[in-house]
Amino acid sequence: MLTFPPAFLVGHLPARPHDPARPHVTVTWAQSLDAKIAGPGGARVILSGPESMEMTHWLRTMHDAILVGINTIIMDDPRLKIQLVPQDDPSLLPPQPLILDPQLRFPLSARILSEWNKYRGSRELRDDRILRDSRDVPDARGPAVVRQPWIVCGDTVPPERREEVERAGARVVPTQLDGSGRISPNALPAILSSLGLGSVMIEGGSRILSSFLHAPSRADGSPLVDSVIVTVAPMFIGEGVGVVPEGEDRGLPPLRTIHTETMGKDAVMLCALR
């Protein structure tokens, strides 16, 4: 079990309490030696060993929100929970899942939604009250808490579709899309602030990593991305999904390595944008 946070991360993780006016943005992923994050056709590959995976779950607890793109939900069906941190520490909380999904393609069969509905059902039985979303659980503490998935979509998505997804148990947050039909990375801090979230850990996939790494600075001149934490696993994937999609490897920002830590078989690099 790790002592967390490891010394090399101190000062590079979101401060607590967060500054709600300037949410901290961490971008993180796990990659092979040939810079792939998934196998052919996007098939999920377990890259992280137990030690670096545990660190990932610790990192999740250090952020208010965890963000993935809709393709990652469709391909990996992740839970985005913190089951690898000590389960008896009530101060550790799972982050709020946020999914960037311009067209609201979110599959109602997603594990993240069924786990929330199961949790909500069990709390209703216990508490005899209806939980509409995770903000209705003020007394809930600890890693076993499950949070409602919040989906950020385009404000052009028809109301009937939004209602369908909300009836199924998720929260839908409509927002203006950029000229490419995406949620602009630079719009994220304001979205986070409006949702009361002071920090976010962006976990992928490839298109999301690319757009956040390419994003211009914030209005105050500071980089949009505050920290980059990469797990490098000693394996080759060959054909597969790159850290950024093919053709998007130009114009990536220079990174400054702050520290590289060996965690089990993996190297974990902490970098900042210069």
CB nearer ligand HJL, residue 71 or residue 199: 71
Q: Given CA atoms 184, 214, 34, 260 in this order, what sign does their dihedral have? A: negative
Query: Looking at 30, 172, 208, 209, which residue binds ligand HJL (CB under 6 A)?
Result: 30
CB nearer ligand HJL, residue 58 or residue 198: 58
Token readout for 217 is 């600075």
Q: Work out whether 109 is an interface residue with ligand HJL (CB under 6 A).
A: no
CB nearer ligand HJL, residue 185 or residue 240: 240
CB count within 10 Å of CB 94 equals 23
Query: Looking at 26, 61, 71, 72, which residue binds ligand HJL (CB under 6 A)?
Result: 72
Residue by residue, DSSP assigns 100-132 as: E-TT----TT-HHHHHHHHHHHHHHHHHSS---
Partnered with residue 241 across adjacent β-strands are 38
Query: Looking at 20, 78, 154, 245, which residue binds ligand HJL (CB under 6 A)?
Result: 78
Residue found under tokens 């054909």: 239
Token readout for 215 is 């994003």
Q: Give first-to-last CA distance, the chain, whole Å.
A: 33
- Residue 244 interface partner, choices ligand HJL, ligand NAD, none, CB cut-off 5-8 Å depending on type: none
Among the listed ranges 13-21, 46-54, 176-184, 216-224, the one in contact with ligand HJL (CB under 6 A) is 46-54
State in angstroms the smallest separation of the CB of 71 from ligand NAD. Answer: 3
- Residue 69 interface partner, choices ligand HJL, ligand NAD, none, CB cut-off 5-8 Å depending on type: ligand NAD
- Residue 162 interface partner, choices ligand HJL, ligand NAD, none, CB cut-off 5-8 Å depending on type: none
DSSP conformational letter for 7: G
DSSP conformational letter for 191: H
- Residue 71 interface partner, choices ligand NAD, ligand HJL, none, CB cut-off 5-8 Å depending on type: ligand NAD
CB nearer ligand HJL, residue 94 or residue 102: 94
**Separation CA 120–CA 112 (nearest Å):** 12
CB nearer ligand HJL, residue 97 or residue 169: 97
Please report, as ranges, the residues that interact with ligand NAD according to CB under 6 A: 29-30, 37-38, 42, 44, 47, 68-72, 75-76, 100, 102, 182-183, 185, 203-208, 211, 241
Considering only CA atoms, which of 120, 14, 29, 109 is closest in space to residue 69? Answer: 29
Considering only CA atoms, which of 4, 18, 99 is closest in space to residue 54? Answer: 4
